[in-house]
A = this chain, B = another copy of it.
Amino acid sequence: MKVGIVGATGYGGAELVRVLHAHPEVSNLIVYSSSKQGSSLSETYPHVSHLPYRLEEIDPVAMNEANDIVFLAAPTGVSSQLAPALLAAGCTVIDLAGDFRLQDVEDYEKWYRKTPAPEEWIMRAVYGLPETNKEQIKTAQFIANPGCYPTASILALAPLAKAGLIQAESVIIDAKSGVSGAGRSASLGTIYSELNENLKIYKVNEHQHIPEIEQHLSLLGYASPITFQTHLVPMTRGIMATIYVNLKQEMTEQQVRDLYHTFYADAAFVRLREKGQYPATKEVLGSNYCDIGFSLDERTGRLTIISVIDNVMKGAAGQAVQNANILFGYAEQTGLQMIPVYP
């Protein structure tokens, strides 16, 4: 496939370059930028100084001609303009931003406080979480790649939600993220001295991923509001969601684990931990895996689910490539089998 990447100077775009440059089915790769067109990618990123990529101008018609698929790694609020133009030109598009994930434009306005994308295109966007939505992805022209927190959260809850086992109003997601999720832009809140040796909670009860998680849990069968908090951890990559749920019926921890093993039997990137083992974020760093562990507390009957991903990979670029693989009929793991970098 011939691929284009818009926004290659951001972290999500740079990670797409890392994955797609080494992807065995990619025959051509073009990088685009609105702010730095004409410069070499290695001026922004010396880590790819051995690669010849030059940032090209954004022109939807030309982009459609040059590429079989375009990945949009532009900031939320930009995709809403760019994606329709590309789609109208006939392009197949995977959008990594949040602009087309919420089916309800009022939700978008409320949580993002931005002007929503055109509703006709929102309606056509397929939510790109392969583990729950693979059939729709296969035939999509336009994929809205899930958010990082929603990926970790929904994967951790999908089997229970689908089986109707979660008690209403019982879901609490305590999520923690590395700082790369904030992207590559200067702000006082993300400078090193403010975040190092520090742990912060942010967007308390106001994170825009709340409606995204609720919408997709609802489609899976759990239609109830969630409590969702997000914390900034002094590390670069990694998300952990520690999730608390009450079950509708009594189950053993092993029954829960069995349910997940069945649900994810064909999932290439979900790894389930055995009894007494819990995932840590470093165990997926640089890879597309989502690792999940369980503990059912006999004292309280409450189930704790721990889910980790690399936010830049399974939470963004890796998942986008996984979606492209499905779309183009390649094996889902193609170009994504890198082992996590440890330590």
Contact = CB atoms under 8 A, between A and B. Distances in A.
A156 to B, nearest CB: 13
Interface string A302-339: 10101010001000000000000000000000000111
A49 B235 contact: no
A254 to B, nearest CB: 15
Q: Could you say how many copies of this chain the assembly holds?
A: 4
A7 interface: no
Interface in A200-239: 200-202, 204-205, 225-227, 229, 231, 233-238
Nearest to A274: B49
A281 B185 contact: no
A199 to B, nearest CB: 5
A190 to B, nearest CB: 5
Contacts of A2: none
A100 interface: no
Contacts of A282: 47, 194, 197-199
Nearest to A298: B205
A296 to B, nearest CB: 8
Contacts of A50: 271, 289
A306 to B, nearest CB: 5
A238 B191 contact: no
A101 interface: no
A184 B191 contact: yes
A343 B180 contact: yes
A172 interface: yes
A242 B231 contact: yes
A11 B271 CA distance: 22
Contacts of A184: 188, 191, 193-194, 343
Contact of A284 (B47, B182, B273): B47
Interface stretch (A13-21, A76-84, A91-99): A13-21
A91 B161 CA distance: 55
Contacts of A287: 47
A165 interface: no
Contact of A227 (B169, B179, B237, B244): B244
A286 B341 contact: yes
Contact of A339 (B18, B176, B202): B18
Contacts of A172: 172, 244, 302
A187 B195 CA distance: 14
A307 to B, nearest CB: 11
Contacts of A200: 278, 280-281
A341 B271 CA distance: 22
5 smallest beta-carbon distances between A and B, as pairs: A198-B282, A174-B174, A47-B283, A193-B343, A47-B340
Given A192-B234, A227-B244, 19 more contacts: A21-B339, A22-B339, A46-B283, A169-B300, A174-B174, A176-B199, A179-B192, A179-B193, A184-B193, A184-B194, A197-B238, A197-B282, A198-B238, A198-B280, A200-B280, A205-B297, A231-B242, A233-B234, A312-B343
8 contacts: A47-B283, A50-B271, A191-B191, A193-B343, A199-B280, A199-B308, A205-B304, A225-B299
